[in-house]
């Protein structure tokens, strides 16, 4: 409902622990297709769950492959090179890693066995070129028609049974200087034709993104096809090649994504290492060589099959000069690590940064400068000298997931002599392209001082709308939520179940201290039992109000409430969040609404759940509860002295949320750039 316009990272002081990274998209889709083409069943571990892999899976299903989840694995039973479904329409979303290789594979299969396939995608996919691949497939003798713009999907692939491909024995020429995916697509498809004859691909132009072609070659080898290559110009699939399932295969985690966690370890793993599960030095991804660059800067990187373990080594880090042609994406992480180095780091041969999701040289320069660094950008290089004084900054992300991820590392600035400044990441959701849970995972490793973690308190009387507002504010800011009323209500449930009287303070306090309460996925569990519905019962609320008046019970719940103050921030709602539990919170809101409005809201809530209610008695009940909450001796309900009072009797939920968010933005304004 409320888009997150920004995410504020408090100053961070250390990192440590284990992360399991999502599988690489490129490897997932290649492995899925290979498993779908070969005979027998392949058990695939750690396939990435994303839009792009979902369309590949759906396409394979439509073509007759059997796909079954087995725990965290997928069992894919392939076609064995024989088409089972001769006519199909395949929708491939915006997945280039599905469109290109499926076009090649289906064109050659239809070309020899007969078939008629349409391949389409979202409008953006129909603007992504495929002409170079289609030209190469035409040389083989495939029949491919453009259904829209020439050179772009959608495509129709057709063929007659018994046609012999290739039509000609000359090498198939393909351009390598636009996208390496065309070569990859051919390499994945041609083994289907190589039973009796060798097939050669000749690359025109300087091949770009070689590491991705290396991934293709490594995976072909795992599926039984050894490609011979001469430099990066000629690739030959030997006669007699055929796909053979490896039986079982692991999808590696994305090595570029690992770079952020390697860097976090190099900068901040002071007490315990950062362990990265899912990718190791046996990786087939070129970007794994980022680990060597991090070592050169001082990181202590240990590794084995499928894992990396990083500690802080030399520190401050050492400034380096490095040709980054082999690790273009991960090199952005080095530019941010440079903030923690002594001296000037110079990264060269990064011209490709200019034509990625955004002009990354310009973007990195602008954003590093905002933090206080001195930056010199050239046509194909960048030089970064750490800030003398760190500045709080709002980092623009240019719809580029990698900028959002690498700038999270700037939050470790207290480790570089800064007094501790927060870092604002604008439009943080752009990380979803490869790693929707990036920030969650990052915060799972990072540690901040409790005082540095922001808290917004929202107090007010019963039915003033606190819960709804707090949860919307937390969602908008990406913060955690504490519904402290639920703790008192849970204590009431525990008391009812254990038949403890409302005046037995001692036993009630013990029940409160021992609450086994868990909040997961919108459900609240007490001692393993789902009590989400019961928590809202009127009888439970009434008893909660009584137990909440007992000082020992309030004391017993204090530590539990404080423990909710975790990265990146907390929105806490209740009665005494601003006055007692988080008195130093930078924003305290006190919500008010007239008794009539509150009674009406509660009435509607109950009726909508099919619970009979009477508005007059609800109103009387609310007022009685107000009196009890306000007149008790401990933590009586009252606004904190510095609270912002919001009367929402006449305000919609949206307007109230906007009011709170705008108060928050005023208090946390960052120089440089307003949130977009």
Catalytic residue list: 329
In this chain, which stretch among 188-196, 485-493, 512-520, 668-676 interacts with ligand DC, using CB under 6 A?
Answer: 485-493
555: number of Cβ within 10 Å: 13
CB of 51: closest distance to ligand DC in angstroms? 39
Pick from 611, 603, 598, 610: nearest CA to 649: 598
In this chain, which stretch among 35-43, 114-122, 481-489, 584-592 interacts with ligand DC, using CB under 6 A?
Answer: 481-489
CB of 608: closest distance to ligand DC in angstroms? 18
Structure tokens belonging to residue 139: 């040389």
Nearer to ligand DC (CB atom), residue 510 or residue 536 = 536
Q: Rule CB under 6 A: choose which of 22, 121, 166, 485 binds ligand DC.
A: 485
Nearer to ligand DC (CB atom), residue 575 or residue 619 = 575
Q: Rule CB under 6 A: choose which of 13, 489, 565, 619 binds ligand DC.
A: 489
In this chain, which stretch among 226-234, 484-492, 601-609, 641-649 interacts with ligand DC, using CB under 6 A?
Answer: 484-492
3-state secondary structure 325-368: CCCCCCHHHHHHHHHHEECCEEEECCHHHHHCCCCHHHHHHHHH
Nearer to ligand DC (CB atom), residue 106 or residue 581 = 581
Give Cα 204 to chain centroid, integer Å: 37
In this chain, which stretch among 199-207, 253-261, 270-278, 539-547 interacts with ligand DC, using CB under 6 A?
Answer: 539-547
Count, residues in the chain: 676
Tell me how far apart the alpha carbons of residues 93 and 119 are, in angstroms, rounded to a whole number: 10
**Do the beta carbons of residue 67 and residue 74 sit within 8 Å?**
yes
Binders of ligand DC in range 433-462 (CB under 6 A): 462
Nearer to ligand DC (CB atom), residue 329 or residue 626 = 626
Structure tokens belonging to residue 272: 């315990």
Examine residue 278 and tell whether it contacts ligand DC (CB under 6 A): no
Residue sitting closest to ligand DC (CB): 485
Tell me how far apart the alpha carbons of residues 588 and 667 are, in angstroms, rounded to a whole number: 11
Examine residue 541 and tell whether it contacts ligand DC (CB under 6 A): yes
Burial class (CB in 10 A: 0-12, 13-18, 19+), 397: buried
CB of 464: closest distance to ligand DC in angstroms? 9
Nearer to ligand DC (CB atom), residue 100 or residue 588 = 588
Size of the site for ligand DC (CB under 6 A): 15
Tell me how far apart the alpha carbons of residues 215 and 227 are, in angstroms, rounded to a whole number: 12
3-state secondary structure 270-336: CCCCEEEECCCCCCCCHHHHHHHHHHHHCCEEEEECCEEEEECCCCCEECCEEECCCCCCCHHHHHH
Binders of ligand DC in range 573-612 (CB under 6 A): 574-577
CB of 598: closest distance to ligand DC in angstroms? 11
**Do the beta carbons of residue 278 and residue 306 sit within 8 Å?**
yes
**Do the beta carbons of residue 245 and residue 40 sit within 8 Å?**
yes
Examine residue 464 and tell whether it contacts ligand DC (CB under 6 A): no
Nearer to ligand DC (CB atom), residue 418 or residue 545 = 545
Tell me how far apart the alpha carbons of residues 353 and 339 are, in angstroms, rounded to a whole number: 19
Pick from 645, 631, 627: nearest CA to 578: 645
In this chain, which stretch among 271-279, 377-385, 412-420, 482-490 interacts with ligand DC, using CB under 6 A?
Answer: 482-490
Angle CA 264–265–269, to nearest 5: 115
Q: Which residues contact 593 (CB under 8 A, 6 or more apart)?
A: 460, 461, 463, 464, 465, 601, 647, 648, 649
**Do the beta carbons of residue 37 and residue 244 sit within 8 Å?**
no
CB of 427: closest distance to ligand DC in angstroms? 34
In this chain, which stretch among 202-210, 290-298, 324-332, 542-550 interacts with ligand DC, using CB under 6 A?
Answer: 542-550
Examine residue 491 and tell whether it contacts ligand DC (CB under 6 A): no
Nearer to ligand DC (CB atom), residue 105 or residue 458 = 458
Examine residue 423 and tell whether it contacts ligand DC (CB under 6 A): no
Tell me how far apart the alpha carbons of residues 661 and 655 are, in angstroms, rounded to a whole number: 10
Examine residue 524 and tell whether it contacts ligand DC (CB under 6 A): no
**Do the beta carbons of residue 360 and residue 335 sit within 8 Å?**
no
CB of 659: closest distance to ligand DC in angstroms? 20
Examine residue 629 and tell whether it contacts ligand DC (CB under 6 A): yes
Q: Rule CB under 6 A: choose which of 390, 435, 488, 582 binds ligand DC.
A: 488
CB of 49: closest distance to ligand DC in angstroms? 36
Nearer to ligand DC (CB atom), residue 372 or residue 485 = 485
DSSP conformation letters of 386-408: --SS---EEE--TT-HHHHHHHG
CB of 515: closest distance to ligand DC in angstroms? 14
Nearer to ligand DC (CB atom), residue 184 or residue 561 = 561
Examine residue 184 and tell whether it contacts ligand DC (CB under 6 A): no
Structure tokens belonging to residue 532: 């989400």
Tell me how far apart the alpha carbons of residues 612 and 603 are, in angstroms, rounded to a whole number: 9
Examine residue 545 and tell whether it contacts ligand DC (CB under 6 A): yes
CB of 649: closest distance to ligand DC in angstroms? 18
Nearer to ligand DC (CB atom), residue 149 or residue 532 = 532
In this chain, which stretch among 89-97, 540-548, 594-602, 667-675 interacts with ligand DC, using CB under 6 A?
Answer: 540-548
Binding interface with ligand DC (CB under 6 A): 462, 484-485, 488-489, 541, 544-545, 548, 574-577, 625, 629
């Amino acid at each position: 409902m409320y888009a997150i316009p920004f995410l504020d990272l408090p100053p961070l002081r250390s990192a440590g622990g284990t992360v399991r990274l999502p599988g690489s998209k490129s490897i997932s889709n290649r492995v899925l297709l290979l498993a779908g083409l070969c005979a027998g069943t392949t058990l695939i571990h750690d396939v990435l769950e994303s839009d792009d892999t979902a369309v590949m899976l759906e396409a394979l299903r439509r073509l007759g492959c059997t796909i079954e989840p087995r725990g965290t694995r997928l069992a894919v039973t392939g076609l064995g090179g024989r088409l089972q479904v001769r006519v199909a329409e395949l929708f491939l979303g915006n997945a280039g890693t599905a469109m290109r290789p499926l076009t090649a594979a289906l064109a050659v299969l239809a070309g020899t066995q007969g078939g008629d396939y349409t391949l389409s995608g979202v409008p953006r996919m129909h603007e992504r070129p495929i002409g170079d691949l289609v030209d190469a497939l035409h040389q083989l003798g495939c029949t491919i028609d453009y259904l829209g713009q020439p050179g772009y999907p959608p495509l129709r692939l057709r063929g007659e049974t018994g046609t012999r491909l290739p039509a000609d024995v000359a090498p198939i020429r393909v351009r390598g200087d636009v996208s390496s995916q065309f070569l990859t697509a051919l390499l994945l498809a041609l083994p289907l034709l190589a039973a009796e004859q060798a097939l050669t691909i000749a690359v025109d132009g300087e091949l770009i993104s070689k590491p991705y072609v290396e991934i293709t070659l490594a995976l072909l080898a795992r599926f039984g096809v050894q490609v011979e290559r001469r430099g990066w110009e000629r690739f030959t699939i030997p006669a007699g090649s055929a796909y053979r399932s490896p039986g079982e295969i692991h999808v590696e985690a994305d090595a570029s994504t690992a770079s952020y966690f390697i860097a976090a370890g190099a900068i901040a793993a002071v007490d315990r290492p950062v362990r990265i599960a899912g990718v190791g030095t046996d990786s087939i991804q070129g970007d794994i060589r980022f680990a060597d660059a991090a070592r050169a800067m001082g990181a202590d990187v240990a590794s084995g099959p499928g894992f990396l373990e990083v500690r802080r080594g030399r520190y401050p880090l050492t400034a380096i000069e490095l040709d980054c042609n082999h690790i273009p994406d991960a090199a952005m992480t080095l530019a941010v690590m440079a903030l923690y180095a002594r001296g000037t780091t110079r990264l060269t041969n990064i011209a490709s940064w200019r034509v990625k999701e955004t002009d990354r040289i310009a973007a990195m320069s602008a954003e590093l400068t905002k933090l206080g660094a001195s930056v010199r950008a050239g046509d194909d290089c960048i030089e970064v000298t750490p800030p003398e004084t760190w500045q709080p900054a709002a980092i623009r992300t240019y719809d580029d997931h990698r900028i959002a991820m690498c700038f999270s590392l700037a939050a470790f600035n207290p480790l570089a002599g800064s007094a501790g400044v927060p870092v604002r990441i604008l439009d943080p959701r752009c990380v979803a392209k490869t790693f929707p849970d990036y920030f969650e995972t990052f915060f799972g490793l990072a540690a901040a001082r409790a005082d540095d973690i922001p808290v917004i308190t929202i107090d007010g009387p019963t039915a003033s709308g606190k819960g709804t507002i707090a949860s919307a504010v937390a969602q908008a800011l990406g913060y955690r939520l504490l519904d402290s009323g639920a703790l008192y209500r849970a204590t009431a449930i525990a008391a009812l179940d254990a038949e403890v009287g409302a005046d037995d303070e001692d036993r009630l306090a013990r029940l409160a201290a021992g609450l086994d309460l868990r909040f997961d996925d919108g459900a609240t569990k007490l001692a393993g039992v789902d009590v989400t519905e019961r928590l809202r019962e009127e009888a439970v609320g009434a008893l909660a109000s009584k137990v909440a008046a007992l000082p020992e019970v309030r004391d017993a719940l204090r530590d539990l409430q404080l423990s909710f103050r975790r990265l990146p921030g907390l929105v806490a709602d209740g009665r005494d969040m601003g006055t007692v539990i988080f008195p130093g919170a930078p924003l305290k809101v006190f919500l008010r609404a007239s008794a009539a409005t509150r009674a009406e809201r509660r009435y509607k809530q109950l009726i909508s759940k099919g619970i009979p209610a009477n508005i007059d008695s609800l109103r009387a009940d609310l007022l009685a509860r107000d009196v009890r909450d306000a007149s008790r001796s401990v933590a009586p309900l009252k606004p904190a002295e510095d609270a912002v009072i919001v009367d929402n009797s006449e305000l919609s939920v949206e307007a109230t949320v906007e009011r709170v968010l705008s108060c928050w933005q005023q208090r946390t304004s960052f120089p440089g750039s307003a949130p977009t």
